Amino acid sequence: MKNPVRKTLFTVLASGMLIGIPGGIPGGMTSSAAAEPPNPFGTDYCSLFFNGTPQAPDLWRDCCVEHDLTFWAGGTLQARKRADLKLEGCVCEAGACEIAKLMYWGVKTGRLWPYKFKRQQWGNAWGTELNYRKLTSEEVHQIYDGLGGLFLPVKDPEGLRERLRAALMKDLVEGTQG
């Protein structure tokens, strides 16, 4: 197999490691803003999955951090679906479209799994119970205002902050129009 992405996909499937190896070290990166959500942001990068290929070990790690940050902020079920599709698109843009499909279906079916990691549920910024709901204006601004103080372990932290801010504001505007 000459294609490194296919080789990685084959290795993952053949070894049965889809649910076995954590993708990174738990984070704990937090904001120092005064009005922050009750639970701090943390990331383990690509939870229970690889962060990249053997040749490029962090190839799609930034995609996973963005997905984790969006998960932490929470919101509606539609916002979660957009976050999962964005993860798939980001990993595909990194050159791993086959892995992207596998990851998409992993996160999509993972929400049906009866056992949840407390720090990795949708809307974890606001509590540990899964709760699809429109964020209040105050919550959106708490996330929005606190983003500047977060340490984000990605290549372009400011770009990530701006993408999340745009998504939060879009959800807030859509929520007031419904």
Ranges 112-116, 156-160, 164-168: which has the least confidence: 112-116
pTM score: 0.76
113-147 residue pLDDT tens? 777 776 678 898 988 677 888 898 899 888 888 88
What is the sign, positive or negative, of the torsion defined by CA atoms of 58, 160, 67, 34?
positive
Q: Which helix (H) or strand (E) is 67 found in, with range? A: helix 61-73
Q: What's the pLDDT at 52?
A: 96
Cβ atoms of 122 and 130 within 8 Å: the answer is yes
* Residue, of 31 and 127, whose pLDDT is higher: 127
Residue 12 DSSP SS3: helix
b/e 22-36 (16+ beta carbons within 10 angstroms → b): ebbeebeeebeeeeb
Residue 170 DSSP SS3: helix
